[in-house]
A and B are shown apart, each in its own frame.
Chain A
Amino acid sequence: MNAGLLPPEAYVAALAGFRNMSVNRMGALLRHHTPEEAWAVACGVTPARGPIAQVLARSEVRAAWRRCTDERPPEQVWQHCSDLGVQVVLQGSHSYPGCLLHDPLPPPVLFVLGDLGLLAGRRIAVVGTRNATAGGRQAARDLGHGLGAAGVHVVSGLARGIDGCAHYGTLAAEGEGRPIGVVASGLDVVYPREHRDLWNAVADCGLLLTESPPGTPPEAFRFPLRNRIVAALSEAVLVVESRERGGSLLTAADAIERDIPVMAVPGPVGRRSSVGVNRLIQDGAIPITGPDDVLIHLSYQHGRSALVPADLRARPRGDDIPIYRELQREPRTIDGVALALGHGLVEVAMGLARLESAGWVAQADGWFECVGSPL
């Protein structure tokens, strides 16, 4: 073993992928040992110091780590990281993000693609449910776009629904503000798969980071852990749409724990997709109705913003207006619109088709929703 040639990061990268390894254990291991020693401890060559000695007193942990040292030699993990162009940042190194240093649960190691310098800028987390409504998606896109255009970086989790939409909006703004993605799996394990393009775009134009080494699958327990990093990296956490329970509320709780302000976009009362955000507002979160509200909170000079993109959609006209109004109240099926307005089916269908081709209305599973920003 030509161990002498490997940097300390290689050992930590390998240890991070161990079974029975946790953020706490990893932190304890590195507090009491150098990375090389930590590796030797895991191999069973050197006796452990500190709380890890108790952990290793349990035979199943000892055995699991021993097996993992064979399965994940540091040379191989290190090679994998270099092949992917992944930067490995240890807690305590110069490039380690300052905002994570004093975190209650700082990640001992970060795997990074893209520009870590972005963390010096202003950062807002935009998160929300994966089962988003068309209106919620549109709101997330608008917020991502507005913040990106104003030079604020958007932190999010690259999940389906709100997370993805926020970053799509930021990328589309092509402004100073960039997407910062925090993911739960390894940087080479794209999840969800349909976000492959987004994933690559975030790595290219912004910053993509995780605490899991390359090859780590998107296991369920990693997502709540990922959320704490999303919160810790941001100046404020903005929840766009959330149900009564969900990952984005965990992110908000993480933010509260860290004294980071929480913001929420209010939604219609009684709609399931808004229960979580409305409750956050009741509990004192800052209500947000558009990118400007966030910017004011960040003490940005905004004035009459030229950054808001012009809405080029043709305005609804004539008979389409009542149909649009009806849909603004809540999503409806074509039957629902026809019955509410007392119009004929064909008439309503024609109106909906006009609204849809103009981009005011979106349809899925037979339901029509407004995508004219409710903000």
Chain B
Amino acid sequence: MLAAVRSATVFGVEGRPVTVEVHVSTGLPAFQIVGLPDEACRESRDRVRAAVLSSGLRWPSCRVTVNLAPSSQRKGGSGLDLAIAIGFLAASEQVDLASLEGMGFVGELGLDGSLRSVSGVAPMVAAMCPAIDPGVVRPVVPVGSFREAQGVVGEGVRVARCLYEVVHALNGESPWPDPPDGELCDYEEPPPDLADVRGQPTARLALEVAAAGGHHLLLVGPPGSGKTMLAQRLGGLLPELSRATSLEATMVHSAAGVRLPAGGLVVRPPFRAPHHSSSMVSLVGGGSTSLRPGEISLAHGGVLFLDELGEFAPAVLDGLRQPLEEGVIRLARARASASLPARFLLIAATNPCPCGGGQPGSCECDDAARLRYLRRLSGPLLDRFDLRVGVARSAVDDLLATGGGEPTAVVAGRVAEARRRSVERIGMSTASIPPSLLDELAPLHPAARVRLREELEAERLTGRGYHRIRRVARTLADLARADELVLDEHVVMALQMRVRLSVTSRVRAA
């Protein structure tokens, strides 16, 4: 007997439909899986056999051949277990073959027949259920993955706790089990609030500007000055994700096996903070069979925070350039290539030198060490930060003051308003205004024009820096609700938020 069951695997952040064909025939007892399965996939033989027997079903002594079509693609992971088991049961006439019509199966089996969640359910379900014809295919997923699947395809998702329940439901002996309660039981930790930050007016403003205009931000300051604390509060300032971005982010999180919020969809902008010892692959994504998305893809739509930027391996930092420029990261391997979404707001923190610096003249590092430290940051990467803000340790008075600063909610309101203006104007964030449109979209007040000319002539500003300053000034004007012209004060503030690191100015400083 032959049975064909619909399932899927993940590659990158995309699901790929897989048809599991199971053939049961007489012959020497054997159980074989063909169609380029990887190790985890091949091991499903043992899991499936044990699960079938534990569920009180029969495993007749016969020859079982499983083919995973299309057979030229590599398949990985344990998500095909359920489909293989159901295919076997249908082929061995323990499940009604006709009941498999319009169903798709995803899930890993335990030896006791229980059904377990796997990573990548969202893209797999999306691949099984064609978007043009929703409702034609009803996915069956483990209970734990219900929200995730429902977030992607809407209604019609079936859940089960174990193989036994699936078989009973398919044979019509009992109804499908109810999905878990509609109420969101999980308590979401609220993001940290900006009101906790004492003092630091410039850094606060920089966060606001970064959130409003999508400008990448570099915080420079000694240890203990609150760089990390500030960075963690950026996510809270961003508005909720659009439906499209939310779906993309959900796919990435699901494919990477990162726990999704209780609602099933990633709605709040994600905040990712990989450690500086992270490898290239963990950041950009990779792996042999499935190309698991990396941290920068997980930050899609949200914030990527690189603490101690100078400590990251130079190759890793260079890997950031393509995604910063294009918003996607294209990974190519010998057998396949994938493009993973990676449009994020980059916020980084660094010490000004190995010892942490502080007031001018208090640095204890020798020049060679300073240069070595900052050279890693200099060049193309440093140029991509529109905002470079110095953060100093707060004064004692500030720390002891009772009243905190403005809370996140108030600032987020201004950010949303400024974003709305910018989208009305050009349909994109201010940070991505092309230089050719700057004169039209960010016209300068004459005084501001004179100021920028002076800065350029004094060689305190480079050509590239000039465009970045104008964009930041545009965002500042949006936040101040100055609709038309970008005023001198906005340009001045933008210049103040582009700190000159002594490595870039040291030769002239002599």
Enumerate chain A interface residues (CB-CB to B < 8 A): 129-134, 136-137, 160, 164-165, 168, 192, 194-195, 198, 241, 271-273, 330-331, 333-336, 338-339, 345-346, 349-350, 352-353, 357, 362-367, 369
Which of A331, A338, A339, A365 contacts B220, CB < 8 Å?
A365
The residue of chain B having its C-beta at the shortest distance from the C-beta of A357 within the complex is B454
Nearest Cβ distance between residue A346 and chain B, in whole angstroms? 5
Could you tell me the distance between the alpha carbons of A290 and B159 in the complex, rounded to whole angstroms? 85
Contacting pair B493 A134 (CB below 8 A) = no
Within 8 A of A (CB), among B463-510: 488-489, 492-493, 495-496, 499-502, 505-507, 509-510
Contacting pair B390 A367 (CB below 8 A) = yes
Q: Given A194-B507, A333-B392, A366-B499, do A346 and B489 touch, yes or no (CB 8 Å)?
A: yes
Could you tell me the distance between the alpha carbons of A365 and B361 in the complex, rounded to whole angstroms? 12
Nearest Cβ distance between residue B240 and chain A, in whole angstroms? 29
Closest 10 CB pairs of A and B: A366-B390, A273-B361, A133-B361, A366-B499, A349-B496, A333-B392, A133-B360, A353-B492, A364-B502, A272-B362
The residue of chain B having its C-beta at the shortest distance from the C-beta of A354 within the complex is B492
Q: List chain B residues, Cβ under 8 A from A132.
A: 361
Contacting pair B361 A136 (CB below 8 A) = yes
Contacting pair A353 B495 (CB below 8 A) = yes
The residue of chain A having its C-beta at the shortest distance from the C-beta of B390 within the complex is A366
B330 at the binding interface (Cβ < 8 Å): no
Q: List chain A residues, Cβ under 8 A from B493.
A: 345-346, 349
Nearest Cβ distance between residue B261 and chain A, in whole angstroms? 35
Nearest Cβ distance between residue B457 and chain A, in whole angstroms? 11
Contacting pair B510 A168 (CB below 8 A) = yes
Within 8 A of A (CB), among B143-158: none
The residue of chain B having its C-beta at the shortest distance from the C-beta of A346 within the complex is B489
In the assembled complex, 30 residue pairs joining A and B whose CB atoms fall closer than 8 Å, in A order, are A131-B361, A132-B361, A133-B361, A160-B510, A194-B506, A198-B510, A271-B359, A271-B361, A271-B362, A272-B359, A273-B360, A273-B361, A331-B359, A331-B360, A333-B392, A334-B496, A336-B392, A336-B395, A339-B201, A339-B395, A339-B398, A345-B201, A349-B489, A349-B495, A353-B496, A363-B499, A364-B500, A366-B220, A366-B390, A367-B390
Could you tell me the distance between the alpha carbons of A137 and B496 in the complex, rounded to whole angstroms? 23
Q: List chain B residues, Cβ under 8 A from A353.
A: 451, 492, 495-496
Contacting pair B510 A194 (CB below 8 A) = yes
Contacting pair B510 A164 (CB below 8 A) = yes
Residue of B352, B367, B502 with most partner-chain A CB within 10 A: B367
Contacting pair A345 B205 (CB below 8 A) = yes
Contacting pair A273 B362 (CB below 8 A) = yes
Nearest Cβ distance between residue A183 and chain B, in whole angstroms? 16
**What 0/1 pattern do residues 165 to 208 of B give for CB contact below 8 A with A?**
00000000000000000000000000000000001111101000
Could you tell me the distance between the alpha carbons of A168 and B508 in the complex, rounded to whole angstroms? 12
Contacting pair B202 A365 (CB below 8 A) = no
Q: List chain A residues, Cβ under 8 A from B510.
A: 137, 160, 164-165, 168, 194-195, 198
B357 at the binding interface (Cβ < 8 Å): yes
Within 8 A of A (CB), among B394-436: 395, 397-398
Contacting pair B359 A367 (CB below 8 A) = yes
B100 at the binding interface (Cβ < 8 Å): no
The residue of chain B having its C-beta at the shortest distance from the C-beta of A347 within the complex is B489
Q: List chain A residues, Cβ under 8 A from B361.
A: 129, 131-133, 136, 241, 271-273
B389 at the binding interface (Cβ < 8 Å): yes
Q: List chain B residues, Cβ under 8 A from A131.
A: 361, 363, 367
Could you tell me the distance between the alpha carbons of A213 and B492 in the complex, rounded to whole angstroms? 52
Interface residue total, chain B, C-beta cutoff 8 A: 42
Q: List chain A residues, Cβ under 8 A from B495.
A: 349, 353
The residue of chain A having its C-beta at the shortest distance from the C-beta of B200 within the complex is A335
Nearest Cβ distance between residue A169 and chain B, in whole angstroms? 11
Q: Given A330-B359, A365-B501, do A335 and B201 touch, yes or no (CB 8 Å)?
A: yes
Q: List chain A residues, Cβ under 8 A from B458.
A: 357
Could you tell me the distance between the alpha carbons of A369 and B390 in the complex, rounded to whole angstroms? 14
A-B contacts besides A271-B359, A349-B493, 4 pairs, CB < 8 Å? A132-B361, A335-B203, A346-B489, A353-B451
Contacting pair A335 B367 (CB below 8 A) = no
Could you tell me the distance between the alpha carbons of A350 and B492 in the complex, rounded to whole angstroms? 6
Nearest Cβ distance between residue B280 and chain A, in whole angstroms? 30
Nearest Cβ distance between residue A128 and chain B, in whole angstroms? 11
Within 8 A of A (CB), among B334-361: 352, 357, 359-361
Q: List chain B residues, Cβ under 8 A from A134.
A: 360, 509
Nearest Cβ distance between residue A45 and chain B, in whole angstroms? 42
Q: Given A331-B360, A346-B489, do A338 and B389 touch, yes or no (CB 8 Å)?
A: no
Could you tell me the distance between the alpha carbons of A179 and B204 in the complex, rounded to whole angstroms? 48
Contacting pair A349 B500 (CB below 8 A) = no
Which of B200, B205, B367, B509 contacts A192, CB < 8 Å?
B367
**What 0/1 pattern do residues 57 to 87 of B give for CB contact below 8 A with A?**
0000000000000000000000000000000
The residue of chain A having its C-beta at the shortest distance from the C-beta of B507 within the complex is A194
Could you tell me the distance between the alpha carbons of A129 and B362 in the complex, rounded to whole angstroms? 11
Contacting pair A365 B451 (CB below 8 A) = no
Could you tell me the distance between the alpha carbons of A248 and B418 in the complex, rounded to whole angstroms? 54
Nearest Cβ distance between residue A354 and chain B, in whole angstroms? 9
Which of B389, B488, B500 contacts A363, CB < 8 Å?
B500
**What 0/1 pattern do residues 380 to 394 of B give for CB contact below 8 A with A?**
000000000111100
Nearest Cβ distance between residue A95 and chain B, in whole angstroms? 32
Nearest Cβ distance between residue B86 and chain A, in whole angstroms? 63
Nearest Cβ distance between residue A359 and chain B, in whole angstroms? 10
Could you tell me the distance between the alpha carbons of A168 and B147 in the complex, rounded to whole angstroms? 70
Could you tell me the distance between the alpha carbons of A335 and B496 in the complex, rounded to whole angstroms? 11
The residue of chain B having its C-beta at the shortest distance from the C-beta of A271 within the complex is B361
Could you tell me the distance between the alpha carbons of A334 and B357 in the complex, rounded to whole angstroms? 17
Residue of B359, B361, B363 with most partner-chain A CB within 10 A: B361
Could you tell me the distance between the alpha carbons of A194 and B509 in the complex, rounded to whole angstroms? 11
Q: List chain B residues, Cβ under 8 A from A136.
A: 361
Contacting pair A364 B509 (CB below 8 A) = yes
Contacting pair A346 B492 (CB below 8 A) = yes
Could you tell me the distance between the alpha carbons of A272 and B362 in the complex, rounded to whole angstroms? 6
Could you tell me the distance between the alpha carbons of A365 and B503 in the complex, rounded to whole angstroms? 9
Q: List chain A residues, Cβ under 8 A from B500.
A: 363-365
Q: List chain A residues, Cβ under 8 A from B205.
A: 345
Contacting pair A333 B507 (CB below 8 A) = no
Q: List chain A residues, Cβ under 8 A from B359.
A: 271-272, 330-331, 367
Q: List chain B residues, Cβ under 8 A from A350.
A: 488-489, 492
Residue of A129, A195, A362, A363 with most partner-chain B CB within 10 A: A363
Could you tell me the distance between the alpha carbons of A160 and B489 in the complex, rounded to whole angstroms? 36
Could you tell me the distance between the alpha carbons of A133 and B361 in the complex, rounded to whole angstroms? 5
Could you tell me the distance between the alpha carbons of A346 and B480 in the complex, rounded to whole angstroms? 11
Nearest Cβ distance between residue B367 and chain A, in whole angstroms? 6
Could you tell me the distance between the alpha carbons of A207 and B502 in the complex, rounded to whole angstroms? 30
Nearest Cβ distance between residue A275 and chain B, in whole angstroms? 10
Q: List chain B residues, Cβ under 8 A from A241.
A: 361
Q: List chain B residues, Cβ under 8 A from A357.
A: 454, 458
